[in-house]
């Protein structure tokens, strides 16, 4: 780990929050020491720390650097890449066009595939929510196919590359890999194998999991599925 006093870098997050996992993976990739503070999103009452550091959204993740808060995972990733730049591995591509493409797919994931709205203390995701909450077999099959279709879109972006960043693990990999922690849940709930539907995407997940930064941060996939089952009322 590089020299950065852990007390000067604090991450406030919930263990099952994919958006917050991005932040911790990015810090691990940069080799920055940090203090982690868990915010229990199963409790409807936000901590005073969150209320003070993010009074607008009252949400996590929050990066606190030298007492100053930075909120929203995409904004935090940009801050991390700019703050720890010289002598540190870069997350965003150097080429402006490649940077724009990486940000476009981040927006796609956050706003089209996943983020729908905030209900109570949990983030509810559009395609995922439809898939996990479907009651009829027909609705479940339709939403499963939509989910797989969106994953195939991401796989097409990956193509034959090792990572979304090309030969090197980068920004878009950091953005996307946290949500692979629910792939087991998707497979179990929909009775399909992602390796058969999206073989290149599955191979990418395995490569990412071989990295210490990812392996340290990603939660157990069974625990993630159990968390979502409880939230969505799946028996």
For the chain, what percentages of helix, strand and coil (3-state, to nearest 5) are there?
55, 15, 30
* CATH code of the domain occupying 9-83: 3.40.30.10
Q: Map out the domains of the chain as residue ranges.
A: 9-83, 96-232
CA atoms within 13 A on the CB side of 49: 17
Map tokens 């493409």 to a residue.
101
Q: Round to whole Å and give the CA distance between 37 and 35.
A: 7
> Using an 8 Å Cβ cutoff, are 123 and 18 in contact?
no
Per-residue model confidence as pLDDT tens for the chain (235 residues): 444 444 599 999 999 999 999 999 999 999 999 999 999 998 989 999 999 999 999 999 999 999 999 999 999 999 999 999 999 999 988 888 888 888 888 877 776 544 333 333 333 357 788 888 888 889 889 989 988 998 998 899 999 999 998 999 999 999 999 999 999 999 999 999 999 999 999 999 999 999 999 999 999 999 999 998 888 788 7
**CATH entry 1.20.1050.10 includes domain 96-232:** yes
Find how far residue 179's CA is from the centre of its chain: 5
Map tokens 């997940």 to a residue.
205
Which residues make Cβ contacts (< 8 Å) with residue 65, sequence separation at least 6? 8, 9, 10, 79, 83
Tens-digit pLDDT profile for residues 81-126: 999 999 999 998 888 888 888 888 887 777 654 433 333 333 335 7
pLDDT number for residue 38:
98
Tens-digit pLDDT profile for residues 50-65: 999 999 999 999 999 9
CA atoms within 13 A on the CB side of 103: 13
- Give me 157's structure tokens: 């972006």
Kindly report the pTM of this predicted structure.
0.88
């Amino acid at each position: 780990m590089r020299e950065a006093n852990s007390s000067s870098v604090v991450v406030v997050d919930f263990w099952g929050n994919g958006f917050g996992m991005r932040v911790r993976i990015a810090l691990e990739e940069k080799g920055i020491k940090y203090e982690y503070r868990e915010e229990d999103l199963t409790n409807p009452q936000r901590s005073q720390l969150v209320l003070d550091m993010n009074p607008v959204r009252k949400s996590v993740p929050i990066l606190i650097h030298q007492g100053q808060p930075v909120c929203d995972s995409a904004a935090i990733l940009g801050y991390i890449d700019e703050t720890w730049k010289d002598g540190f591995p870069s997350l965003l591509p150097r080429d402006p066009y490649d940077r724009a493409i990486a940000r476009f797919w981040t927006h796609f994931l956050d706003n089209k595939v996943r983020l729908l709205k905030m209900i109570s203390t949990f983030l509810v995701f559009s395609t995922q929510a439809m898939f996990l909450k479907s009651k009829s077999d027909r609705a479940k099959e339709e939403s499963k196919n939509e989910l797989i279709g969106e994953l195939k879109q991401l796989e097409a972006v990956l193509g034959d590359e090792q990572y979304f960043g090309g030969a090197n693990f980068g920004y878009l990999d950091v953005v996307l890999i946290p949500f692979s922690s629910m792939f087991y849940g998707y497979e179990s709930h929909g009775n399909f194998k992602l390796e058969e539907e999206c073989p290149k995407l599955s191979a990418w997940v395995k490569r990412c999991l071989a990295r210490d930064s990812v392996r340290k941060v990603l939660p157990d996939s069974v625990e993630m599925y159990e968390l979502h089952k409880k939230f969505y009322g799946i028996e």
